[in-house]
Amino acid sequence: MREKIVAANWKMNKDLTEGLQLVSDLVESLKGKKIACEVIMAPPFIHLSGAAERLKETDIVLAAQNIAKEENGAFTGEVSAQMIASTGAKCVIIGHSERRAYYGENGAVLHEKLLRAISEGLRPIFCVGEQLNEREAGKHFDVVSNQLTEAFNAIGADKIAQMIIAYEPVWAIGTGKTASPEIAEEMHAHIRSFLKERYGESVAQKMPILYGGSCNGSNAVSLFSQPNIDGGLIGGASLAVEKFMPIIEAWDQVHK
Ligand code: PEP
């Protein structure tokens, strides 16, 4: 059976006090509960070491939202994979549509970031997804295949097998317009068959593919019930524990 995952992407939200409060709230809400999925939390960099301390002795996995493509040195404002790993973070989001759109991160840059993460033992959560106009033009499958092809480039199947993929249609992120379970499932199945073709059946079957885009406590069960949807990458609804917990608990109602 594949891993089931609910991952929080806080984006650029929460100052130091608010962030540590949210970590504590989540730890308290999960205390003593048997949950049916893994929980990953990606706060801004400033929270990583404090969160790592608070998450000790919990099963919550810490992630960063970005990494530098360079190893170290004179890159003002950047944070290296090694620095992130030293905080105790285990995963890193790479290729989020906001990074692609606002910071010009293209396939070549994302390929370098993937290599950097892998070499430092950080598990990439690699995001793909089409714009609305690309879907309307019927190009959505090609767009996602190209994003995977460019960023994965010559990375071997053994490394690809360690990743998590998140399908996040850009038109659904932060808009309140969730992809229907059928639309999301169709793309997840496409991604899985892409993986099968390039990297073989076992990589394809093992890869967790998360859905992201206005996922919330009301739509999580129907999304997670789809055969190829293995959880969610959650933005807005991860910023308050009363909104995030129902998404984690959605897995209790999914039997597959
Ligand atoms: C995201 O940005 O990863 C995301 C899925 O955002 P939201 O849940 O707010 O749509």
What pLDDT, in 10s, does the model give residues 143-159?
A: 999 999 999 999 999 99
Give the percent of the chain with pLDDT over 90: 98
55-58: long-range contacts (C-beta < 8 A, 24 or more apart)?
Answer: 55/23, 55/27, 55/88, 58/27, 58/30
pLDDT at site 123: 98
For residue 82, the SS3 value is: helix
Number of CB atoms found within 10 A of residue 28's CB:
10
Probe residue for ligand 1, chosen from 96, 168, 223, 238 as the CB with the greatest number of ligand atoms within 8 Å? 168
Check if 65 has its Cβ closer than 6 Å to any atom of ligand 1. no
Confidence of residue 256 (pLDDT cuts 50, 70, 90): confident
pLDDT at site 59: 97
Condensed to tens digits (0 to 9), the pLDDT of residues 171-219 reads 999 898 889 999 999 999 999 999 999 999 999 999 999 999 999 999 9
| Mean pLDDT value across residues 220-231 | 98
Locate the ligand 1 atom nearest the alpha carbon of residue 173 and give its number: 10
Give the percent of the chain with pLDDT over 70: 100
Distance CA 140, CA 219 (A): 22
Given the residues 98, 105, 168, 185, the one annotated as active site:
168
For residue 59, the SS3 value is: coil
Minimal CA–CA distance to 128: which of 137, 115, 136, 114? Answer: 114
In the predicted structure, residue 169 carries a pLDDT above the cut 90: yes
CA nearest ligand 1 atom 1, residue: 235
pLDDT at site 241: 98
- Mean pLDDT for the chain overall: 97
Check if 63 has its Cβ closer than 6 Å to any atom of ligand 1. no
pLDDT at site 250: 98
Structure token pair of residue 171: 């038109």
Probe residue for ligand 1, chosen from 10, 11, 126, 178 as the CB with the greatest number of ligand atoms within 8 Å? 11
Probe residue for ligand 1, chosen from 233, 243, 247 as the CB with the greatest number of ligand atoms within 8 Å? 233
Distance CA 132, CA 169 (A): 8
CA nearest ligand 1 atom 6, residue: 235
Catalytic annotation present for 168: yes
| Mean pLDDT value across residues 63-71 | 98
Find the DSSP H helices in the chain: 16-30, 48-55, 81-87, 97-103, 107-119, 132-136, 140-152, 157-160, 181-199, 201-206, 220-224, 241-250
Go through 81-107 and write b for each residue having 16 or more CB atoms within 10 A of its CB, e for each that does not.
bbbbbebebbbbbbbbbbbbeeeebeb
Question: Contact 118/92 with Cβ under 8 angstroms?
Answer: no
Check if 231 has its Cβ closer than 6 Å to any atom of ligand 1. no
pTM higher than 0.85 for the full model?
yes
Condensed to tens digits (0 to 9), the pLDDT of residues 75-112 reads 999 999 999 999 999 999 999 999 999 999 999 999 99
Catalytic annotation present for 197: no
pLDDT at site 1: 86
Given the residues 38, 47, 96, 111, the one annotated as active site:
96
